[in-house]
Structure 1
Amino acid sequence: MKPPAFDYHAPRDLGEALAVLAETREHGKVLAGGQSLIPLLNMRLASPSHLVDINRVAELDTIAVRGGGVRVGALARHAAVERSQAAARAQPLLRAALRQVAHPVIRNRGTVVGSLVHADPSAELPAVLAVLEGTVRLARQGGGVRDVPAAHFFIGPLESAVQPGELAVSAFFPSLPSRAGGAFCEVARRHGDYAVAGAAAVVVLDEDLRISSARVACVSIGPVPVLLDVSEVCARRPAASADWAAVAAAVRDRVDPEGDIHATAGYRRQLTGVLAERALRVAAQQAAGQETGEFAHE
């Protein structure tokens, strides 16, 4: 199929891009990696009057480790962030999740910020941003900039907080504090498919190496990433003796997935509990400085 007709814009700097978006507003759609947008256009599920191609805006192609985390520019490709040693040291959860995003050919073109703006609840990166309590920076013509927390950025399926005239210029993934660990795991029918269910977890230990905080963001469970704080279930317990079965039960009790052609609601609920338990267990082991086998996808 062919996309509907549109006017094509190719700004060469951020100011020009913001000017075009200010003019086109709700009629404009931003093209970065295009791995989600192009299929939507071809299937005529999206029909913008204007396509704003930001691939020539070189200042958006950045990966910077500063301010206690990783700031990823709007043109940074999945593969570039995945390969970045500095980003992996500052936030290993990014690399763990990116390795599960589709296939290498997709990751070579797709962008981290584009995936966040696309706001697919079955995607990996929205869950990572949610569990890390990161932010997305939005800019508009005239110098207006706002940082939107993950908790308020994902509004619904394929719907984010980006307003007409705004451009998501970067995303910030905070580093974890000392004595903290993170892990990501998912199950898909085939490697590279959207996850039937998944979990991104962060565990923080106190000075006595007891669990002080534990949270998990669930993938493919609701209209947005479902962030659960399960600290009270395992608080003040050493990581090695935490009741992870109780944690899994608490996660299952708090999620309300829907069934579809890939899995029943009951199966997805059970699977989410299992994956949350595994991810939290590995995150706790990492926080305690224990060696963990690298796992992310089953």
Structure 2
Amino acid sequence: MYNFDVETPTSIADAVKALGREEAQPLGGGQTLIPTLKQRLASPSVLVSLTGIAEMKGVCMTDDGQLAIGGATPHAVVAREAARHYPGLADLASHIGDPAVRNRGTIGGSLANNDPSACYPAAALGSGATIITDKREIAADDYFQGMFATALDEGEIVTEVRFPVPEVSHYQKFVQPASRFALVGVFVARFGDGVRVAVTGASNDGVFRWTEAETALSSNFAADAVNGLALSGADMISDLHGSGDYRAHLVGVMTKRAVAAAR
């Protein structure tokens, strides 16, 4: 590690001001950033902790029936407090990492980092969520822009995420046991106007929607509706844990499991 300053604002306005300092970087739960600093892969001169901002914490329903989650809300709180309103999302949160990660990591931090194997991006994209920042509102379809890439500007803070609540949903994750990240994870959500299917852990471009499966499942919400559909392994992640073709195959398997569990 190396020397750096730490700012602990208690309001969004103060956090925005602190992030105006040269080489300042926001710090959520630190589950990714702290190991990155230890490996000297990042070297900000100022860390701006967002965990003390009360207005960025909590889970509640909005007047228009969406589930609102503060950006600084830990995974464990989402797992507990979202269960009554959005059980599919709560179940996803309950299987992120281990207890230590779930009690420190935050939904805003996960979405800002946009790890290609993280779980929350699949939930946000699969739900058609809206990512709210200190500056604007961004639809999930526009937010995710590739591996570790998002629509966020420098210093922009994820203050809240709003999830439309589907009729039924489920997330199936094939766990990479060493990291607890998804080797492949599929989030399926059925709404009144159709089905959304979001895939994480598989693609070199990060989280994505499987539109062919969405079309098939919107017509027939049953696991066998995706029989005959296949993704190419050419654009999938290929590493020591699994080839691109293997991940492409797993997408179909996990989609079927998610639909069966949702039903």
Please indicate, yes or no, whether the TM-score normalized by the shorter chain is above 0.5: yes
Of stretches 220-229 and 189-198 in structure 1, the one that deviates more from structure 2 is 189-198
Normalised TM-score (structure 2) = 0.90
- Correspondence for 1:73: 70
Work out which of the residue numbers 198, 221, 227 in structure 1 matches 2:185: 198
Matched, 1:104 2:99: yes
Q: Which sections of structure 2, spanning at least 5 residues, go unmatched?
A: none
1:292 aligned partner: none
Opposite residue 165 of structure 1, the aligned amino acid is G
Aligned counterpart for 1:224 among listed residues 199, 206, 211 = 206
Distance between the aligned counterparts of 2:119 and 2:111, measured in 1? 9
The residue that corresponds to 2:243 in the other structure is 264
Within 5 Å, which residues of 2 pair with 1:34-113?
Answer: 34-66=30-62, 67-84=64-81, 87-113=82-108
SS at match of 1:156: coil
In structure 1, list runs of 5 or more residues that go unmatched.
140-144, 206-211, 286-298
Aligned AA (2:19): L
Residues 168 and 235 of structure 1, relative CA distance in 2, 3 Å threshold = closer
1:173 corresponds in structure 2 to 163
- Aligned equivalents of 2:151 and 2:42: distance in 1? 18
CA–CA distance in structure 2, aligned partners of residues 266 and 196 of structure 1: 13
Deviation at 1:255, TM superposition (A): 8.1
Across the aligned residues of Structure 1 and Structure 2, the Cα RMSD in angstroms comes to 2.1
Superposed displacement of residue 8, structure 1? 2.1
In structure 2, relative to structure 1, the CA distance for the partners of 1:103 and 1:265 (3 Å cut) is: same
After TM superposition, give the deviation of residue 159 of structure 1 in Å.
Answer: 2.1
Shift of the alpha carbon at 1:44?
1.0
Query: CA contact under 8 A between 2:234 and 2:244: conserved in structure 1?
Result: no
Residue aligning to 1:294: none
- What does residue 158 of structure 1 align with? 148
Change (3 A) 1:235 1:98: closer
Matched residue, 2:109: 114
Q: Which residue of 2 aligns with 1:278?
A: 257
TM-score (norm 1): 0.80
CA contact (8 A) 1:62 1:72 kept: yes
Note the C-alpha offset of 1:133: 0.5
- 8 A contact 1:198–1:218 mirrored in 2: yes
Distance 1:184 1:255 in 2: 24
Could you tell me which amino acid in structure 2 is paired with residue 35 of structure 1?
A: Q
Separation in structure 2 between the aligned mates of residue 235 and residue 14 of structure 1, nearest angstrom? 40
SS across alignment from 1:39: helix
Larger radius of gyration between Structure 1 and Structure 2:
1
CA distance in 1, matches of 2:182, 2:215: 28
Matched positions, count: 260
**Which amino acid is the alignment partner of residue 256 of structure 1?**
D
- Between 34-43 and 185-194, report the one with greater CA deviation: 185-194
Task: State how far apart, in whole Å, the 2-side matches of 1:248 and 1:111 are.
Answer: 36
Q: Shift in Å at residue 17 of structure 1?
A: 1.0
Query: How far apart are 1:16 and its partner, in Å?
Result: 1.2
Q: Which amino acid aligns with 1:12?
A: T
1:182 aligns with 2:182: no
CA contact (8 A) 1:195 1:220 kept: yes
CA distance in 2, matches of 1:168, 1:102: 21
How far apart, CA to CA, are the structure 2 residues paired with 1:255 and 1:100? 29
Residues 159-168 or 258-267, more deviating: 159-168
5 Å matches for 1:223-262? Answer: 223-229=205-211, 230-237=213-220, 239=221, 242=222, 244-252=223-231, 256-262=235-241
Q: 2:9 aligns with which of 4, 8, 11?
A: 11
CA contact (8 A) 1:251 1:276 kept: no
Paired AA for residue 168 in structure 1: V
- Counterpart of 1:175 in structure 2: which amino acid? V
Distance 1:172 1:68 in 2: 10
Distance 1:54 1:258, change over 3 A: closer
Q: How far off its partner does 1:47 sit?
A: 1.2
